[in-house]
Structure 1
């Protein structure tokens, strides 16, 4: 308020006034907290296109679970559904967190989780192919029962964080046991047979063959070790649930366990808008800034700069540079329609050569490092081969849409089309929205040095807003009760139909 009004002396209220206002607001909400939140979301479901919301109560009407997702979240799921986590956090085309849905649950039972996963499927139309969670047994059972087609992967960080406590601080701190184990656990470059051989050697060297906890992890190695996910498309992005932990921290900055449900929903909406603003900023920076090209004689780098978002291009550019300066082709041999190139990588001593299989007729290419399969971006070894062959066009089949500038045709707020629209209609509307967005930004960029012209354009836009808002009638001053009703987006009901859980710490997802 100080920032808004220009000084503490201009606010017109003291710190205690604000505290008292918050106290009175909470008294107004009282036991109607959950009921107000439910009704607010039901109104969104009624008036907002493609908004999903479901909730569940116990026999006494106490809220057990609540899930909601708006149209933007669903469009994000369509574009990046391969990147699903639990809680419902994904990765956008800038390699940043994006929220795909939200839930509040009253307990962590398998029954509650199963309900939540079912309403998620109803909202989005399908389950994700791969998900990452911690070792919560209730979540494991719910996924097996509800999303049997999804590949359930355990968070590596949560497992390895327990290593010192389970194996012993002495062996972890005073020997190279932890270093050797991490070398085979965290790497993407070894095959399962190599992992199993190295694991057995380490266990023998440190007399841990009969260690109960370590053996239990070995028995479920295919659920958390990267070596067993080499065939899963871009699963390299999903080793841990750290993205979900980061997302929980992000929302934690806007709310706290002491806030009411109605207050939490307001904070959540604010946090989502902040996240989407950041995405729009990244989109703007991608379209309006030019990345520096390091290899002027390699046209694929310049093409990549125009294909990918800026963040992703920097990753791809690093692979291109490594292909030029770090890799060399030792030999090659014909194998039917393919040519097999043996590429030496000076910074990868773990293997003598990486093998790149190339069929130039249709630009089919494959590398034994499997970087494309893990991360959806071509590796330095492939770029080494492409440069030697003087390939002049970026291989189209290896451009994943999820990393491109056009991954989401319309990322602007308030989109009017949902995932059930026909593709032609969807593309048509988003083309117009895209043209308006780009044209507006282009005009601003051209006029930014001409203040008078910029003000004229501003006045034109403001006048259009006035035309759209012309039917709004100024209302008389509101009473405190009316302001409370406005803040909570609900009038206080005469009787609560959904009751607030007592003594439950909610988990936000």
Structure 2
């Protein structure tokens, strides 16, 4: 079921796989699975990939909160201690953000290739987001162009992915549409639409087309190292001095 949910490349593949999964395991009358299927458009990734989620998944909220408070609070602390520790957690989070921003502006993460496109993202993106781009470039080694079909200015690339599944070789296929006039590109995996970064399939095709620079629409300002976060302009308890007379009187 996990493979069906997270590895389905499209809605049609999920629908066929779900019917086989239910039938082969004798789960046709399972009320819980039936209710899940009725709400599939709310939780199955292939139904959500055309919406921008900035890389957030359904489980990351709880995992992020647990990591955020790790080392600060536990089930035995009092309410008063919780308020103090919550303030300390916010302070540490803000300090880490300032350190990351300083590193992004004043240091450089080396590229893993000689691609000018990778250098374009290196120049604009924060270290954390450029790390994701860097991983997509590294992953290109397992992808190959199998077929190309031209329709006017649109080139349809069929890209094959080789990977291991249960110790055996397996493969997937993705369709990448490239406009040779506007140099716009779109992949069937919809990673850019879902997470806001171009996928390895697109980078493979752009390299094949000898493109040196992607259009500005694919370099999102939200990931830029030069953007000042608005929440840093807001006053917070951790940014005030504990020696403030009014606070001590309170």
Q: Considering the TM-score relative to the shorter chain, is it more than 0.5?
A: yes
Deviations 1:233-275 (A, max 9, x none): 23652232x3334324533633456656555333322221110
Label 1:193 to 1:260 Cα distance change in 2 as closer, same or farther (>3 A).
same
| Residue 267 (str. 1) matches residue 110 (str. 2) | no
Deviation at 1:337, TM superposition (A): 3.2
- Aligned positions of 1:124-135 closer than 5 A: none
Find the aligned partners of 1:182 and 1:347 in 2 and give their Cα distance.
17
| 2:28 corresponding residue in structure 1 | 209
Match of 1:402 among 222, 227, 240: 222
- Aligned positions of 1:91-490 closer than 5 A: 181-187=1-7, 189-234=8-53, 237-240=56-59, 242-248=60-66, 250-251=68-69, 253-256=71-74, 261=79, 263-296=81-114, 298-323=115-140, 325-347=141-163, 349-351=170-172, 353-408=173-228, 415=233, 486=248, 490=250
Contact 1:229 1:235 in 2 (8 A): no
Label 1:281 to 1:236 Cα distance change in 2 as closer, same or farther (>3 A).
closer
> Which portions of structure 1, spanning 4 or more consecutive aligned residues, are displaced by more than 6 angstroms?
none
Contact 1:234 1:372 in 2 (8 A): no
Contact 1:345 1:381 in 2 (8 A): no
Deviations 1:424-471 (A, max 9, x none): xxxxxxxxxxxxxxxxxxxxxxxxxxxxxxxxxxxxxxxxxxxxxxxx
Label 1:235 to 1:195 Cα distance change in 2 as closer, same or farther (>3 A).
farther
Gaps of 5+ in 1: 1-180, 418-473, 476-481, 491-509
Deviation at 1:321, TM superposition (A): 2.6
- What's the RMSD between the two structures over aligned residues? 3.0
Contact 1:226 1:236 in 2 (8 A): no
- If the length of structure 2 is used for normalisation, what is the TM-score? 0.81
Find the aligned partners of 1:359 and 1:287 in 2 and give their Cα distance.
34
Q: Aligned to 1:356, what secondary structure does the other structure show? A: strand
Find the aligned partners of 2:67 and 2:112 in 1 and give their Cα distance.
37
Deviations 1:353-389 (A, max 9, x none): 3221111322211011111112111111111111122
Deviations 1:299-343 (A, max 9, x none): 1112221121112212111212333x2323233222233222222
Gaps of 5+ in 2: 165-169, 236-242
Find the aligned partners of 1:231 and 1:381 in 2 and give their Cα distance.
17
